[in-house]
Amino acid sequence: MMRMEHSSIEVPLRFTIRRAAALILGLAAVVVIAFAASARFGEQPISLSIALADPTSTDAAIFWSLRLPRAVLAIIIGAALAASGSALQGLMRNPLADPFVLGVSGGAALGATLAIAAGLGSAAQLAPEPLRAALARLSAPALFAFAGSIGATALVFAGGRVQGQSSPYALLLTGVIFNAFASAAITAVKALVNPEKLGEILYWLAGTLGYENAWTLALAALLQALAIGTMWMNAGKLNLLMLGDDDAASLGVSVGPTRLVLLLAASLSVAGAVALSGLIGFVGLIVPHVLRLWLGPDQRLLLPCSAFGGAAFLALSDLATRMLFSVFHTELPVGVVTALVGGPFFLLVLHRRRVGSLSLSWP
């Protein structure tokens, strides 16, 4: 048998600081391009030079108050969904896990549905007088969706504890059951509201990117930076948790607290995303999956790359929504596009993957 001298062989390590930095910079460049394209183009052609030179022009109005905020929102939501999807797939040790698996989608949808059904537009309508001005710009469905997803997550955590320990399978099952319950409750509400509100509810549920103000976008970006940062910081421990709880514990991980921190960060990230965009499916499922086939399972690499990949994917999907359907003078919810594009693409990638072979030719 040939003996390899390990000082001379090329060490097949998929995670090195150099490689991670190169990949993250590369993907960041892709995000910048996707962002620029998403901000530049749309149904209405605009001139960038006019938009930048004359702040009173129509082009400037479209660019600054429509294109730019929407592109920023796409980046934030895409990063949140894909990063938390990657973390949850690892935590649940289940490739089918997605950001909505822990009841977050059901809770958010139920919250938003109730807000729309009650005719609440702005959060200020609920607030006492002194707070009204501050909350005037916060949409009530967004606030209700956020509260609903946080409530649902708390409920699923409580229900998913088996003998005092949170087990991935019990969490998964409780989340699925809660989502089914929420879906039934939403159907009941839909049957009771007038057609106008029904349309609004359906549009929200399909997942859309709207036009948020700078204050909301900054808050969302801060929340996601904290949540994704927390997940990334714990990515080394997440790798060990993917082997099994006892394995992780025997390798020095405090399993309970670590899992709780990761679950909370992922849930907060998803809650912050769905509050602003509704349920945009597929991003959190396929982006981490496709990247895992390319990069391997190491979350130290996969998690940040998923964030960048998700951001670029959603920004481009949103651009497609605005461009492709303009002939019909309508705009599809971006969630429909991510599913229509993402589904077949995902199947293609899975189909082409050679089982058991692993690409070791990394950049």
Partner 1 sequence: MNVLEVSALHAGYRHRPVLRELTFSVAPGELWAILGPNGAGKSTLLRTCLGLLSRQAGRISFLGKAIEEWSRRELAQRMAWVPQSFDSAAGFTGLELVLMGRSPHLGLWGLPSRADLDHALALMQDLQIEQLASRASDALSGGERRLLLLARALAQNPRVLMLDEPTAFLDLKHQVDVLRRIKAQTEGGLSAMAVVHDVNHAMAFADKVLLLKDGAMLACGSPGSTLTTQALERLYDLPIASADAGEGRKFFAPRFAQVR
- Of the candidate residues 163, 194, 195, 328, the single one contacting partner 1 (CB under 8 A): 163
- Residue 264 is encoded by which pair of tokens? 């909370």
Burial of 222 (0-12, 13-18, 19+ CB in 10 A): exposed
Give the amino acid at 134. Answer: A
The sign of the dihedral angle between the CA atoms of 10, 11, 16, 20 is positive
Angstrom distances, CA of residue 355 to CA of 137, 242, 359? 51, 20, 11
Q: Which of residues 86-115 bind partner 1 (CB under 8 A)?
A: 90, 93, 95
Q: Is 351 exposed, middle or buried (0-12, 13-18, 19+ CB in 10 A)?
A: exposed
Instruction: Please tell me whether residue 363 binds partner 1 under the rule CB under 8 A.
Output: no
Q: Any contact of residue 236 with partner 1 (CB under 8 A)?
A: yes
* Closest separation in Å from C-beta 228 to partner 1: 15
# of chain residues touching partner 1 (CB under 8 A): 41
19 forms part of the interface with partner 1 (CB under 8 A): no
Other beta carbons less than 10 A from residue 280's beta carbon:
29
| Segment interacting with partner 1 (CB under 8 A) among 28-36, 62-70, 138-146, 228-236 | 228-236
Smallest distance from the beta carbon of 226 to partner 1, in angstroms? 17
Judged by CB under 8 A, the residue of 18, 246, 328, 329 near partner 1 is 246
* Nearest in space to 302 (alpha carbons), one of 96, 119, 87, 118: 87
Judged by CB under 8 A, the residue of 67, 70, 259, 300 near partner 1 is 300
Strand pairing report for 161-162 and 165-166: antiparallel
Alpha-carbon distance of 9 to 154, in angstroms, equals: 50
Q: Is 120 helix (H, G, I), strand (E, B) or coil?
A: coil
Cβ closest to partner 1, residue 15 vs residue 203:
15
Choose which of 8, 11, 45, 129 interacts with partner 1 (CB under 8 A).
11
User: What token pair was written down for 116?
Assistant: 């729309």
Dig out the tokens for 334 from the structure: 């971006």
Beta bridge partners of 139: 122
Q: Is 247 in the site for partner 1 (CB under 8 A)?
A: yes
Looking at 26-34, 71-79, 297-305, 327-335, which segment touches partner 1 (CB under 8 A)?
Answer: 297-305
Of 24-32, 133-141, 251-259, 308-316: span binding partner 1 (CB under 8 A)? 251-259
Whole-number minimum distance, CB 357 to partner 1, in Å? 8
The span of 36-44, 127-135, 175-183, 292-300 binding partner 1 (CB under 8 A) equals: 292-300
**Of the candidates 136, 222, 251, 348, which one interacts with partner 1 according to CB under 8 A?**
251
Decide if residue 250 touches partner 1 (CB under 8 A).
yes
Cα-Cα-Cα-Cα torsion 176, 182, 183, 189, nearest 10 degrees, comes to 180
- CA dist 236 and 186 (Å) reads 39
- Contacts with partner 1, residue ranges (CB under 8 A): 1, 3-4, 6-7, 11-15, 17, 90, 93, 95, 163, 233-237, 239-240, 242-244, 246-247, 249-254, 292, 296-298, 300, 356, 358, 360
